[in-house]
Amino acid sequence: MDAAGERRQGAAAATFLAPATLVVMVMLMAPLLLLLRFSLNRYDRTELMIETVTGANYLRFFSDPFYIGVMRTTLAVAALSTLLCLLLGLPLAYRLARMQSRWKTACMLGIVLPLFIGSTVRMVGWMILFAHGGVIDAVARWFNGRGMEVMYTSFAVIAGIVSINLPFVVLTIQSTIETIDTRLEEAAGSLGAPPARMFWRIVWPLALPGTATAGILCFILAMNAYATPYLLGGPRFQMMAPLLYWEFSTNNNWPFASALALLLMTTTLLMTACANWIIPARYRA
């Protein structure tokens, strides 16, 4: 196809996609602009929200150590959850991608099946497991005579987030590894490379873009987790999403809740942009 034909084909595709793109942009930008406008208003206990233009809500967030601590906790939980998902998901994804037996379908079903269950229902299962008198507590009492309080701890929250995000990480990395030609690994093995060296020198660089995508997806989901920290962390374990909902529903402080939502979204986007910039540079190197 000549250059003129490619241009005509590109113009036709853009024409067909323009209405859908416009609708998506309007549906995406309009709520964000409304959220920004709400965040600049002032809260009043009687009138709830007074229309004005002020940065008091953002100043309140950055001047209060409590909210800074909540954001720090959210970032730490998201980063640690992402790291654990990658450490657990990468070997599972590689084994699943290279599996040739008839059990591969069953293994895929085992990974996909939890996605059909709502996160809240799964968190109730974790609550039964972690609660006082639950399975872990009963086993600990049987071994050493003392219980183990796991509920309402950071460990419980991170375990719940990992259980939710791990299938997404495994499926994303697995689809990337399946695109890597197995003959490259066979050639490295025939030249005397041990399996570990072959993986880190051949598979890992080629799978890095998909692994980065999986990590970014996991980080975004962990940053915005609501049900998991609310149910497993309890009222004393504060993360941004439950705090935002509490300000919106209980305090009825819509301006400050809007500011929290924008700050959470901005932080997530900045961390994602940094990862998108650093990882491709490392991949090219």
Number of H helices, E strands in the chain: 13, 2
The amino acid at residue 81 is S
Assigned CATH topology for domain 40-284: MetI-like fold (1.10.3720)
C-alpha span between 115 and 59 (Å, rounded)? 40
Name the 3-class secondary structure at 50. Answer: strand
Specify the pLDDT at position 69.
93
Name the 3-class secondary structure at 150. Answer: coil
Name the 3-class secondary structure at 193. Answer: coil
C-alpha span between 238 and 66 (Å, rounded)? 10
C-alpha span between 132 and 153 (Å, rounded)? 13
Distance of CA 248 to the CA centre of its chain: 23
**Residue that is written with structure tokens 């993360």 in the block:** 239
- Give the other-Cβ count within 10 Å of 77's Cβ: 23
Strands (E), the chain: 42-44, 48-50
C-alpha span between 21 and 141 (Å, rounded)? 59
CA angle, residues 139, 145, 151, in degrees to nearest 5 = 55
Mean pLDDT, contiguous 10-residue spans, the chain (285 residues): 65 76 82 88 84 89 92 94 94 88 83 85 86 78 76 90 93 89 83 83 85 89 90 88 89 90 88 72 58
Burial classification of residue 196, based on how many CB atoms lie within 10 Å of its CB (0-12 exposed, 13-18 middle, 19 or more buried): exposed
C-alpha span between 129 and 123 (Å, rounded)? 10
> The tokens of 176 are what?
């990337």
Backbone angles phi, psi at 98, to 5 degrees: -95, 5
C-alpha span between 78 and 278 (Å, rounded)? 18
- Residues 283 and 205 sit within 8 Å (Cβ to Cβ): yes
Specify the pLDDT at position 2.
56
The amino acid at residue 62 is F
C-alpha span between 285 and 278 (Å, rounded)? 11
C-alpha span between 150 and 142 (Å, rounded)? 16
Tell me the HSE value of 261 on the side-chain side, using a 13 A CA sphere: 20
- Alpha helices by DSSP H, listed for 131-239, are 135-144, 154-178, 182-190, 195-198, 204-223, 227-228
Closest CA to 154 of 83, 219, 234: 234
